Chains A and B, each alone.
Chain A
Amino acid sequence: MEADETSTVAADSAKQSQMLPTIEAGLADDSARTSGLLVQMTGITKRFGAFTANDSINLGVERGQIHALLGENGAGKSTLMKILNGLLRPDEGEIVWDGETVQFESPQDAAKLGISMVFQHFSLFENLSVLENIAAALPGSIRKNGFNLRRLSKRIEEVGEAYGLALSPARPVNSLSAGERQRIEIIRALLRDPKLLVLDEPTSVLTPQEADALFVTLEQLAQKGCGLLYISHKLDEVRRLCSKATILRGGKLVGECDPRSEDVRSLAAMMVGTHVPEVRSQALHKIGDVRLEVEALTLPAPDMHAKSLNHIMLTVHGGEVLGIAGIAGNGQSELFAALSGEILAPQARTILIDTMPVGHIDIESRRALGAAFIPEQRLGHGAVPNMALSDNLVLSRHGTDRLDRYGMVNFRRARRLSDEVVSKFDVRISGKNPLASSLSGGNLQKFVVGREILARPGVLVVDQPTWGVDAGAAVAIRQALINLAAQGAAVLVISQDLDELFSISDRIAVLHEGSLSAALPTGQVTRETIGLMMAGSEVDDAA
């Protein structure tokens, strides 16, 4: 029975390796072993000051297992994975790798054993090219074959194509969207021949197609005996992919289960401890005047790697949420930059806020007119990692909330406003007024969204409001966007998450290759139609 299974697995993987460029699972030395316990973490405790992020947690991963780690934002998942990767030292507990107790002094030690990690907040080099980012991370074993950048570059293209994670190796990372950055992280981790691959929310910025392709790859890796730890808030994915799940809540282990035998609701309930609410659409509210209008906006690509925008037309009325769907890299970043004023439009009249032409004025002046903007990248763009929350609040609201007078900042008021964001948006923080970088991803997102919404903008433009945010927090953020619209604001949401757009938008338009389709009322389109438009096919009734 046992032997039978292994032989079919071997045959399977042989078949696959004919079709696809192989990714070795780093098991050449003991290729016979595709099962058995790979790593066991026991009694792991990690404290940050008085705050316990991990409280004696046990977690074991077997060879060939895809193991899900579930939990709300701030449950301590990333912390646990950083411990496994040697980035953080546990205060208590031990890690047994392949039968031997190990202690990691640095990520190098973990890398030597074959532990590879896809980080939630990217660990990329902004000013290096995709190729260089990947080459820098490859271990010594690959160096033996010579440091051949041209060969590696070809390999990246091959692997990217085979696994649906297309990348052009020569592009500098700073020109890439979050989705494209995610692809680099994944390909980099795959090329490192991992024995244990940790993926911290890898699909939060991938399109469904990209995610599907990734799952195939992950399953192949597992078949070859690689252990996988998989963190995601998308419970459907987890049920499809994983054979075991460990659930954390508030830093504690609350349960283990086989996700295939649970349904999404029961998994969510275990994570949150209570029932997950759904977005309530606001009772019929009035659609008012046009508050944000884009009139034939054409923008050349700001740099050679960016997309140009072609003749974008859109209107958002007060009281309305307009959703913009599209696959990453079709001009979303450029559209956001043009709307926010990070890139100025060629003519002032192409962008109007409350009928005022604003195409030529900067972001601060647009804010003064009652607009607010939430960019896609929360760390580095939406917030400065090494500044306290209240200082981060000053950065975007100093003008609109009269936080500075005669060049002096009113820190007390800033602190009060930031505490208001924290309490109204249920931002979980450790300590008072901590650095933005110490918040878990979803909590920082809640803070950034809350900061802008509490400025009570008349026009809000937001790019990917809920990527990497747990179900509960995502609902809270979406609800806040709807409520803002119900109070008469015009809300424009750029997102790759169709479920999100369908649950909050009044109308949906699709951005493809820098062109925007006409906006269709949400009630009158299906997901399939939007999906086809995202993939670039002309839809007749779109006009």
Chain B
Amino acid sequence: MDMTQAVLLTIITAATPLLLAAIGELIVERAGVLNLGLEGMMATGAACGFAAATVSGSTGLGVIVAMLSAMLLASLFAFVTLTLGANQVASGLALTIVGLGLSGLIGAGFVGTSRTAVPGLSMEGLSDLPGFGKVIFGQDPFVYAAWALTLLSIVFLRWTRAGLVLRSVGENQASAHAIGLPVLKIRYWAVLFGGACAGLAGAYLSLVYTPFWSPGMTAGRGWIALALVVFASWFPFRLLLGALLFGGATVLQLHAQAASLGLPSQLLSALPYLATLLALVLMSLGRRGGSAAPGSLGQSFVPDR
């Protein structure tokens, strides 16, 4: 396997958890809900997924449990903010704290345990093609899931009626309500979907990326995913680019630190953030009206009757 391919592989692996979590959050935000609890949901997903997979010995079950556990947290968030109309920012922050705490609790018995990582696909012939064979045909299923989700969300938002309804609800909740769209129902589904994606991202971290459990293993990726959604100005394709760029800069930065270029390591650690920010700002400047910021983002919806 040549050098470029190896680098590309590490970039993609670094980008995948971000992409998974961010796509979910993008859909949530397009419906007008700001769920800042991404980090907490990811952490809980990672812990529950790891526990379930270790105990049962089945990776598939681990993934399902990870998604369900994060969805459970998401439904709690949905109940508090949508049904009870609580402030979304405060509830999201609380969710992060709850999720991180919960992950520590669940993972306590597993600290130091490790598993074998989920293997990549290996397709006879294709995966061994020189050049990009392994990049395209030899990834683990999560990577394909992330790509598929990106593609599906583009199609969903742009071309389906359900996607249009979801965007309408996020754009102007009062108008959506007035013309008879079920604002709260749509938001519930969106938040649950966001939870499932966060759980999947968590499972990726604890089952593939670093296949052992250590507390706090999400390491702020939930926050980065949140930022990516904003920098990508709520467009899935830009999100993909942003996640890859961030993954790329992370890998580059690691190599640079290893090569000890004499630059302060703090500066290098900041590189991925700076590069992503810069690229996405430039990208949104390039196009006119280049943001799909939902008009009702973060507002509680309590119709006065």
Interface residues of A (CB under 8 A from B): 85-89, 106-108, 110-112, 117, 119, 122-128, 132, 135-137, 139, 143, 147, 149, 172, 188, 303
A89-B305, A125-B171, A126-B171 known; A107-B178 Cβ under 8 A: yes
Closest to A142 in B: B161
In the complex, what's the smallest C-beta–C-beta distance from B301 to chain A, in angstroms?
A: 12
In angstroms, Cα B177 to Cα A106, docked, is 8
In angstroms, Cα B180 to Cα A117, docked, is 10
- Tell yes or no: B179 within 8 A of A by CB: yes
In angstroms, Cα B303 to Cα A122, docked, is 17
- Tell yes or no: B174 within 8 A of A by CB: yes
Q: Are B305 and A111 in contact (CB under 8 A)?
A: no
Contacts of B175 in A (CB 8 A): 122-125
- Tell yes or no: B221 within 8 A of A by CB: no
Q: Are B178 and A136 in contact (CB under 8 A)?
A: no
Q: Are A107 and B172 in contact (CB under 8 A)?
A: no
In angstroms, Cα B168 to Cα A306, docked, is 24
In angstroms, Cα B295 to Cα A137, docked, is 18
Closest to A117 in B: B178
Q: Are A137 and B180 in contact (CB under 8 A)?
A: yes
In angstroms, Cα B178 to Cα A126, docked, is 15
- Tell yes or no: B182 within 8 A of A by CB: yes
In the complex, what's the smallest C-beta–C-beta distance from A1 to chain B, in angstroms?
A: 40
In angstroms, Cα B179 to Cα A106, docked, is 10
Q: Are B164 and A136 in contact (CB under 8 A)?
A: yes
In angstroms, Cα B159 to Cα A387, docked, is 37
**4 interchain residue pairs of minimum CB distance:** A111-B180, A123-B175, A147-B161, A123-B178
In angstroms, Cα B174 to Cα A335, docked, is 31
**Among candidates B168, B177, B178, B289, residue contacting A128 with C-beta atoms closer than 8 Å:** B168
Of residues 168 through 192 on chain B, the ones whose CB sits less than 8 Å from some CB of chain A are: 168, 171-172, 174-182
21 CB contacts below 8 A, A to B, read A85-B178, A86-B180, A88-B304, A106-B180, A107-B180, A108-B180, A111-B179, A117-B178, A119-B178, A122-B175, A124-B172, A125-B167, A125-B176, A128-B164, A128-B168, A132-B164, A132-B168, A136-B164, A136-B168, A147-B160, A303-B288
In angstroms, Cα B182 to Cα A88, docked, is 15
A136-B168, A143-B161 known; A126-B295 Cβ under 8 A: yes
Q: Are A135 and B161 in contact (CB under 8 A)?
A: yes
Contacts of A147 in B (CB 8 A): 160-161
In angstroms, Cα B233 to Cα A115, docked, is 37
In the complex, what's the smallest C-beta–C-beta distance from A132 to chain B, in angstroms?
A: 6
Interface centre among A111, A128, A136 (most CB of B within 10 A): A136
In the complex, what's the smallest C-beta–C-beta distance from B240 to chain A, in angstroms?
A: 22
Closest to A108 in B: B180
**Among candidates A111, A125, A188, residue contacting B168 with C-beta atoms closer than 8 Å:** A125
In angstroms, Cα B293 to Cα A126, docked, is 12
Contacts of A108 in B (CB 8 A): 180-182
Closest to B172 in A: A125
Contacts of B161 in A (CB 8 A): 135, 143, 147
Q: Are A110 and B180 in contact (CB under 8 A)?
A: yes
In angstroms, Cα B177 to Cα A117, docked, is 12
Contacts of A172 in B (CB 8 A): 289
Closest to B180 in A: A111
Closest to B183 in A: A106
Contacts of A136 in B (CB 8 A): 164-165, 167-168, 176, 179, 181
